[in-house]
Every structure is written in structure tokens, then in C-alpha cells.
Structure 1
Amino acid sequence: MTENTAVEAVQAEATASEAPKKLTLHGSEYLLPASSDQWPLAALEGFEEGKIVAALRSLLGPEQWARLKEAGATLSDLNTLAEQVATAYGFESAGE
């Protein structure tokens, strides 16, 4: 591997880790921060307190949350998104 190739590989990995996490529900895509280090504190508090709806609302932000509601999301859909969040960030589960 040449020095340029090695540098390009490191840059590609850094860029990929900075890319937003993507969740998909019924064909719609929702973007979340690239890392849990970038989560709003309200999201962290929500997950710690077991308030999954509040945590997801904070992670999605007002525009994506409104779009989710307008799409007719259900409690089952929120559970699906919560599990996707856990998987995307490497957690065992979204909590109960």
C-alpha cells in the first residue's frame, strides 16, 4: 500500500464515521447524529429515564419528528426505530 493510498483509507474511514446514522421506517429515511457523543442532552436524559418517546423526539429533531407523526407512526413504529437506534450505536437494546 502506498503512502497516498494509506492516507486516503484513513480519510475515508474518518469521513464514514462522521456520516449521520440512517434509520428507515416504511421507506422513509431519518438521519441521526454520527456518534452518541453528538446527541442532544435531552436524548440522553430520555434514554436514561426510560422515556423512549422523548429520547427519539430529541434525536430526530422537530422537522423529522413532525414528518414521522404526519406519516401516521404508531407505538410499534417507535419501538422499531428505538431498536434501530440501539443497533446503529452498538447498544444491546433501546431499554424498556
Structure 2
Amino acid sequence: MKITRQEVEHVARLSRLALAPAEIDTITGQLDQLLGYVEKLNELDTTGIVPTAHAVPMENAFRADEVKASIGLERALQNAPQSEESCFVVPKVIE
């Protein structure tokens, strides 16, 4: 697959990147090499190979849910700069 200078300029414009003409030439060449390598990888026979999302097996890192007592209203409001009744008082943000 051959990538053109116009395609690089178009993607740069969409990405709001200001690239110098020399940078565009360099990136065009690099992307063309990269896409050539990917095209070469597409020639490999991958029948019978299971697709993977991760290179190594992953397990859920979360702990099991446990029912515990809460910290209580007084303790929750203890460090609040300002509280009223059983609520935090915060500055008004919507008029």
C-alpha cells in the first residue's frame, strides 16, 4: 500500500498538526514503510491461530465484594469545610 503526501497532509489537518514540508516528507516515507511491513505480515498463514486480546493471560484484579459497616454520617462530614444537617455544603455552580 502506498501512502501519498496528500493523505498525510489531510490527516495532519484533521489532527490539527502544523507540519513543515520536510516533516511531511519524512512522515510519508515512514508511514509507507510501516504499511509495507503490515502488508508483508498479511502474507502469513494464520489459519488455526486463535486471536488474542492480550499477550499474557489476565485475571480480574478486583477483590470479592464484602458487606461492611459504613463509616457513619458524623465521620463522613468530619473533614468537610462546611456541612448543614446531614449534607456537604458546596458552592453553587449552576445559576
Q: Could you tell me the TM-score, scaled by structure 1's length?
A: 0.30
Which structure dedicates a bigger proportion of its chain to helix? 1
TM-score normalised by structure 2 residue count: 0.30
User: Whose strand fraction is larger, Structure 1's or Structure 2's?
Assistant: 1
Task: Choose 1 or 2 for highest CA Rg.
Answer: 2
